[in-house]
Structure 1
Amino acid sequence: MTVIAKSDRPRGWPLSSATVRAVLSGHGILGLAFAAIIYLICLTGTLVVFVHDLQHWEQPRTPAVTAIGEAPLSRAIDTARRAAPADAALYVTLPSANEPGATITAYSPTFDRDWSIDAVGDLTTQATPVSQFLLDLHIALHLPRSWGGFLVGLAGVALLSSLISGILAHPRIFKDAFHLRLGGSRRLQEADLHNRLGIWALPFHIVIALTGALLGLSTIIVGALAMLLYRGDTAKVYGLFVEPPPAVNAGAAPLPRIGPLLAEARRRASGAEPHQIVIERAGRADARVTATSERDRLLVPQDTTIFDAGGRVVQDRHPRDLAAGTKILGGIGQLHFGWFGGLPVRLIYGLLGLALCVLTSSGVTIWLARRRDRGRAVPQWERLWAAVAWGQPLSLALVGALGLAIPTAGAALVWLWLAATIGLLAVAGVSRWIKGPVAARWLRRGLGGVLVLLALLHLVVAPFGGTGLAIDGVLLIAGGWLLIGLRKPVAG
């Protein structure tokens, strides 16, 4: 019979000290894994802010029309209808001087295809695998949407809790808002940077975390409301925010002319410009055409005019008609992704999103450094975190290179990202002779090299000019800085 020494058993606890240490180690690994998910969501979210720019970067030869006439638009819609199944809805995005490029998306439960529209109404299939990869990774981690969205929502809740607890745990954080110690101890320097980024951008961080949690947990929220109010009928909850479909009538009916519908939408929404057309059940008597218009300086573009198959207005809704709660719900997505206000807002969101990534990463780095200072270092965790903090940007850069070289890569991008992630974590886990800071330094250099190669690859396969050249310039500067500017070690 094995006898457990009294000193090995915590007082009043049935488990031995070794077992408690093992449980604590597992607890720490789980915490590190969830921190990695939060960091990945923040990183991909920062990139998704520029997803429309990335789409232009991926397909530089796509026509960037700033206006389109009725005849080319009707021709494009007819072509898309013939290419899509009868039950597919058509989502037409109209161009403008600020947002050039017209597109059509045909979607049904069994069909999903995107096209670009040129000035004469010809369609070109869109190939944006990298942008779509980033969107799916940020929204649902490439998991089934219900599970992935729920996990992303939980990450938003955890991030919001961390922000609030971080403020409460630092009573001098506002007093020391401009106190930044540079050039000394690495841990003190990172702690000051962490605290300053946390307080300077706190409103942005809270908004992003809160809206992300609401978007990710929307299915759970709808289910709870349905149970409380409608005996589990979720359709009634969605009906509060979505117009109910018209009575079913499968009889044949021609689609009304788009030009007069847009003219009527403009007349009814003075000061707004039609931005999107949604065509449902085209060719049937119960068809519906919805024109949504945008207004300057409004977060939620909610000028909506709905027409029936005969071109008659059946619903007309404007911002002044909406309740405050509906306006808030309609603006959550725009506010979360920064898809309002044009390029200046996207640039601000990009910088603040990068700050949130640094805040998340440095929080774990500081925690690991404090453990080391107290004689409880966990070098394996330090290597694993380096594989996350610098390995994830490296993995995404590799995905970008493959997607750019092979636009039809599709699912291969997910497998590349997964293989790179698992491979880097496995190497970090078993490489006991490599210290965490050394691993981070080599990963930074690897990331810098891939970013430079990615920019050069794009310059080879795509013509100069516009958004593509700007993104290539950012990639070259960032890659060069990582290769050259980070050689000098920081005192520890």
Structure 2
Amino acid sequence: MTAARTRGWPLSPATVRAVLSGHGILGLAFAAVIYLVCLTGTLAVFVHDLERWEQPGQPRAAVIAAPALDRAVATARRLAPPDAGLYIGLPSGAEPGATLVAYSPAFEREWGIASDGALAAKATPFADFLLDLHIALHLPRRWGAFIVGLAGVALLSSLVSGLLAHPRMFKDAFHLRLGGARRLQEADLHNRLGIWALPFHVVIALTGALLGLSTLIVGVLAMLLYRGDTTRVYGLFIDAPPAVDRAAAPLPPLATLLAEAQRRAPGATPHQIIVERAGRSDARVTIVSVRDRLLVPQDTTVFDARGAVVKDQHPRDLVVGTRILGGIGQLHFGWYGGVAVRVLYGLLGLALCVVTSSGVTIWLARRRDKGRADPRWERLWAAVAWGQPLALLLAAATAVAGAGRTAVAVWLVTTVLLLVGAGAARPPASRLAAGLRATSGGAGVVLAMIHLTRVPWTSTGTIVDALLLSGGAWLLWRHRRGAVAGRA
């Protein structure tokens, strides 16, 4: 009889080892989800730039006259179902070009609006793929968002526990041991990036958890306050629709409504127009305006089908809680500023990716130091950490090739092949990671060069090409430097 069974444990040592191995793989898989969410979130900061990168020929008018908006709405009403709401994004200094989205539960289409009001079909499958991968992992939205929310909670817990587990973290904030043991370098980089960008990391993890678990939070509040009636919880933040009246009624001219909204909010600039139930007597037109130095739009004027104001809300009317809720999404994605804000978010997001990846690398290295190394786990993590950038680059290449709708399949197949190959391969994880770094760097440079040959250098989407070139060149330089050091 085995020692385990003599102690009364019903499982054999071999079974216990298999369970522990499965436990480790499960933990590694969840760490991979956290890393993927962090990586795609970093890229999602540039999703509007990616849309321009995918379709550089989209209209980019700096100003759209109200009559042109009326023509755009009229055209969209002919192309969309009668129950579709129309969401018009107006151009601004940070985001040139106007867009119109027609949406209903069974229909969704987006167009760019030219200066004369003509609609140009807008299709950005890679940007859509990336955003959905970050928000819901391409799973059914409710379940995918829930998993992403759990990843945010786990990330927030890791940040707090990491802070508590390193009492000298602030004291050693600028202490880097370079040139020594690789594990010490990884640990120092992990700790320094973790402390330097800690406020950003906490905000991103907290807002991500709140966004991902919003459905669960609403359900809990409904059970506690309204006997499970979720509509009453949503009613705290969303106005109830007007009484149904399907009688035909013309839509008021947008010029009149825009002028009235600006008169009521003299310090604000119209940012979005929402048209609901157009052509009916219960129609509503909402004009949302933005102000400088405010994180979220806080001026809202709502008109009925006759052009009468039914709601007029300004910053002074909002309680603190409503302002905070309105700012969660903006804080999380960094879409409230210009290029400088997006680049800052991108750099801090990369730091979070490094912290997440190096945390697992350090854990695996400590297992090796204690004589419990698992080369397969190390290779699998290398395939995740450096294989995901490559998989996303190959998915982005589908947009340049005009096959953007295959992005999901390309990403999924590449991910599966890399994981299967890493599990079956025998080279050390360090060699696998180096090869994937070099391949990702080369892919980024090649993709940017091919794209630049197809678009004008003045295209607003070339910020993506600049990031691809700089990131790819850095990865290639790092690979070459490592190869030279290895030969020395």
Range into which the TM-score falls when normalised by the shorter chain: over 0.9
- Is residue 297–residue 341 contact of structure 1 (8 Å, CA) maintained in 2? no
- Is residue 292–residue 304 contact of structure 1 (8 Å, CA) maintained in 2? yes
- What percent identity do the matched residue pairs reach? 68
1:425 aligned residue (419, 423, 431): 419
The C-alpha deviation readout for 1:121-151, integer Å capped at 9, x for no partner, is: 1111112111101110000000000000000
Structure 2 runs not aligned, ≥5 long: none
Q: Secondary structure at the match of 2:461?
A: helix
- Is residue 284–residue 302 contact of structure 2 (8 Å, CA) maintained in 1? yes
Distance 1:110 1:135, change over 3 A: same
1:470 alignment counterpart = 463
2:239 aligned residue (243, 248, 265): 243
Matched, 1:5 2:2: yes
1:221 alignment counterpart = 217
Matched, 1:370 2:363: no
- Is residue 94–residue 337 contact of structure 2 (8 Å, CA) maintained in 1? no
CA distance in 1, matches of 2:382, 2:220: 39
1:440 alignment counterpart = 433
- Give the deviation of 1:12 after TM superposition: 5.3
- Give the deviation of 1:467 after TM superposition: 2.9
Matched, 1:345 2:338: no
CA distance in 1, matches of 2:461, 2:118: 23
Matched, 1:454 2:454: no
Greater displacement, 261-270 / 476-485: 476-485
Letter in 1 for 2:104: S
CA distance in 1, matches of 2:271, 2:349: 27
- Is residue 86–residue 275 contact of structure 2 (8 Å, CA) maintained in 1? yes
How many aligned positions are there? 485
1:332 alignment counterpart = 328
1:479 alignment counterpart = 472
Q: RMSD of the TM alignment (CA)?
A: 1.4
Q: Secondary structure at the match of 2:286?
A: strand
Matched, 1:59 2:52: no
CA distance in 2, matches of 1:131, 1:352: 21
Q: Secondary structure at the match of 2:64?
A: coil
2:205 aligned residue (195, 209, 212): 209
> For residues 93-112 of structure 1, what are the structure 2 equivalents within 5 Å?
93-112=89-108
Letter in 2 for 1:469: T
Q: Secondary structure at the match of 2:133?
A: helix
1:295 aligned residue (277, 281, 291): 291
CA distance in 2, matches of 1:265, 1:149: 35
2:407 alignment counterpart = 413
Q: TM-score, normalised by structure 2?
A: 0.97
CA distance in 2, matches of 1:385, 1:467: 36
The C-alpha deviation readout for 1:333-371, integer Å capped at 9, x for no partner, is: 001111112222211111100000000000001111111
Letter in 1 for 2:117: G
> For residues 228-307 of structure 1, what are the structure 2 equivalents within 5 Å?
228-307=224-303
Matched, 1:318 2:314: yes
- Is residue 10–residue 17 contact of structure 1 (8 Å, CA) maintained in 2? no
2:129 alignment counterpart = 133
CA distance in 2, matches of 1:271, 1:99: 19
Q: TM-score, normalised by structure 1?
A: 0.96
- Give the deviation of 1:461 after TM superposition: 2.4
